[in-house]
Structure 1
Amino acid sequence: MTIISKYIARALFKNLLTILFAVVVIYVAVDFFEKIDDFMAAKIPLLTVGWFFLLRIPFVAAQVLPVGVLLSAMVVIGLMAKHNEIIAYASGGGSSFSLLKPIAVMGVIASLFLFAFNEIIVPATAAEANRIWYDDVRHEGDVGTKTTWFHRKGLIGRVDKYIPETHTARDITLNYYDASFKLIKRIDAEDATISGNVWTLRNAMESFGGRASETRQHKELKVEMNFTADQLHERVKRSDEMSLVQLKEHIHKIESEGYKAVRFRVDLASKISFPLVCLIMSVLGGAMALRGKKGEGMAVNIVMGMGLAFAYWVVHSLCLSLGYAGMYSPIFSAWTANTVFAVLAAVFVYELA
């Protein structure tokens, strides 16, 4: 590595850390003021509140790392231009194109780091943060106070109230469907005791074909189900709480039950495509800053960088939304923004070369 490459690499790393720290602090501060009323209303201990916001940092850092890479590249080039270092380098026979090499290397390293970070650190911290927020603060995991719906292949069930301590359920409805999603049987029961996969229903009424005339009354009816008591109050995992392998297994589980997993497939493709934006943004930001007109300072570069980051998020979010709606394929929706900005980066690099 040349002296100039080492110089740029050190400056990039220093500015990246500074930008990341500033953005994460601002994000967490805004998040704190948005959520503190909910924590106070739920009477959550102060230590738990602090732990929650500490757990939020990895997820936030992973989301803003591409922006940090982009801005650090543009800031470093802007500072070098301000101090006439680029002119001095060019007068010594160096090319502006060669200055992109350490920036691109940083982009590759950042992409690899982000991929590993999203696989190892983010799922664990996001899962615990979401547990605190949805279960402890908003009580969405308290199935004893709300109706719970569940489904398996050929079955959609409803439990009006579940009591985890006694493994008992109240007001149960089980709807059985065939492959064409036609109702073939329905069971309504006052209560049930759940032991493993066996549900013992009491005061149950069994109807067939959706017709009330074809019914059977049971004081007690044992039903074997591929569904345990623990799964009744198990909160559904979100995509950011799962690694690639876990997300693939979750998709397979959903689809094996006969349901579509479009949203999770889009998130799976996005987990692969998103880390590469660090490389794309580093090259794009560096090339744009290097081809800027003389006199354009660091402030102009920062504004351009923020504009690029905003444009990427608009395109990426729009494509993901279209993918969730089933209008785009998961791969197309996850890779469109990367493709557009990679082409834009290639154009700037070509002009620079």
Structure 2
Amino acid sequence: MRLPLTFGAYVSRRFLWMALMMLAALTGLVALFDFIELLRRAATRQDASFAVVSTIAGLRVPFIALQVLPFSILLGGILAFWRMARASELVVARSAGISAWGFLIARPVLIGPVIVASLLGVAATTGVSPLSSVMLSRAERLDSLYLRNTGGVSTLAGGRLWLRQGDRGLDPNGVAILAGRPVSERAPLPAAASAFRLEDVSFWRLGADDRFLQRIEAPRAALSDGAWVLEDATVYGTDRQPRPAGTVRFPTDLTPDRIADSFASPDTLSFWTLPEFIDVLENSGFSAVRHRLHFQSLLALPMLAAAMALLAACFSMREARKGGVAQMLGAGVACGFALFLLDRVTGEFGETGTLPVVLAAWAPAAAGMMLALSLLLHLEDG
């Protein structure tokens, strides 16, 4: 029967148009407030011109769009379904034998609003997220340079940077721990230079059982071409006796960008590079919980978008003659904010390790989907 497919395609077009309009409206509104906040912060900065502030605000737009996408789908879907219900289009469709399931999914070719919402989530995860990460990273660097008093990662631990990585030299399962002070205290990482430099460097090499193997002290070290180069180094063996070694090269998987990204927000990393970066991060001794949580949240975005589309249908298909339409629409918006709050709460628990990362990332999408399916099964009689 082609009627459900034709009507499903019609509903999908209406839904997509309203969702995109709501996405543009919400993104513009949030970006405007963000721009005003940037102007306020730039008021006391002489070198932060209007052009710089505008550039930072413009670079943050894709990131804002990614954040407001689920609400855009919810509010756009509510508006689209409410207008169709007010025009009695849904009443006519049901009279023709088309159930809510029929036009929400439009089997067998799957062109309904739920599928459209899922595809929007997929596009946001695979396409918008990499673009957002690149632009947000650039915006963060400009923000640090012009609007913040920051010393980058060197402000941690009294100005010293601590790194950990695998050591395959003295022990196949050993580790190496490096501590040093970044040379440029004012330049935010990653530095523009080809080599990232440290001073007052200490290098500990430990066995798999944390057994001391070697310590290297050097006044200077540079990270370049896949290796740490320690200049004028002094090596202390297991006998604790110093032996001048001159220049020591130590292979590493770290790069200046990876060191900077380990301290930066996970939002500045592309969806496609996150899995590899998480492995490098953990092998280097950094915590990758925030990055794992962000990656799983991006994977859950299509499911969250589909749940928002179903919730929009549940709270907006009520016939106007039955009354209580305003209360149902208000309940739909409140439900969306409740899912937003759940997402923030589970995210905080996930970052602290109280909840498993997968559960913290997927809980809002799963809760929204189960709520939507329950409501739709209760309300739909066909």
TM-score band (shorter)?
0.7 to 0.9
Stretch moving more, 102-111 or 263-272: 102-111
Q: Does 1:15 align with 2:15?
A: no
Q: 1:169 to 1:320 in 2, by over 3 A?
A: closer
2:145 aligned residue = 136
Gaps of 5+ in 2: 167-174, 185-190
Distance 1:334 1:198 in 2: 36
Q: 1:310 to 1:177 in 2, by over 3 A?
A: farther
Q: 1:326 to 1:78 in 2, by over 3 A?
A: same
Residues 179 and 203, structure 2, Cα contact 8 Å, conserved in 1 = yes
Q: 1:86 to 1:192 in 2, by over 3 A?
A: closer
Q: Does 1:225 align with 2:250?
A: yes
Distance 1:93 1:144 in 2: 67
The amino acid that maps onto 1:81 is: A
| 1:75 alignment partner, one of 54, 76, 79 | 79
1:286 Cα deviation from its structure 2 partner: 0.2
Q: Percent identity?
A: 22
1:228 Cα deviation from its structure 2 partner: 8.6
Distance 1:242 1:117 in 2: 14
Q: 1:157 to 1:292 in 2, by over 3 A?
A: farther
1:214 aligned residue = 240
Distance 1:133 1:244 in 2: 18
1:158 aligned residue = 179
1:170 Cα deviation from its structure 2 partner: 2.3
Residues 164 and 176, structure 2, Cα contact 8 Å, conserved in 1 = yes
Residues 70 and 281, structure 1, Cα contact 8 Å, conserved in 2 = yes
- Tell me the C-alpha RMSD between the 2 structures: 3.5
Aligned length: 347
Q: 1:121 to 1:72 in 2, by over 3 A?
A: closer
1:282 Cα deviation from its structure 2 partner: 0.7
Distance 1:70 1:79 in 2: 14
1:201 aligned residue = 231
Q: Which has the higher contact order (CA 8 A, sep 6+)?
A: 1
Q: Deviations over 1:49-85 (max 9, x none)?
A: 3232222222221222221111222222222333444
Q: Deviations over 1:271-327 (max 9, x none)?
A: 211222111111122023225782233x43442232111111222232233232333
| 2:293 alignment partner, one of 266, 270, 275 | 266
| 2:123 alignment partner, one of 116, 119, 131 | 116
3-state SS of the aligned residue for 2:60? helix
Stretch moving more, 33-42 or 62-71: 33-42
3-state SS of the aligned residue for 2:68? helix
The amino acid that maps onto 1:20 is: L
User: Could you state the TM-score of these two structures normalised by the residue count of structure 2?
Assistant: 0.76
Q: 1:105 to 1:85 in 2, by over 3 A?
A: closer
Instruction: Give runs of aligned pairs for residues 317-336 of structure 1, distance below 5 A.
Output: 317-336=344-363
Distance 1:233 1:6 in 2: 46
User: Could you state the TM-score of these two structures normalised by the residue count of structure 1?
Assistant: 0.81
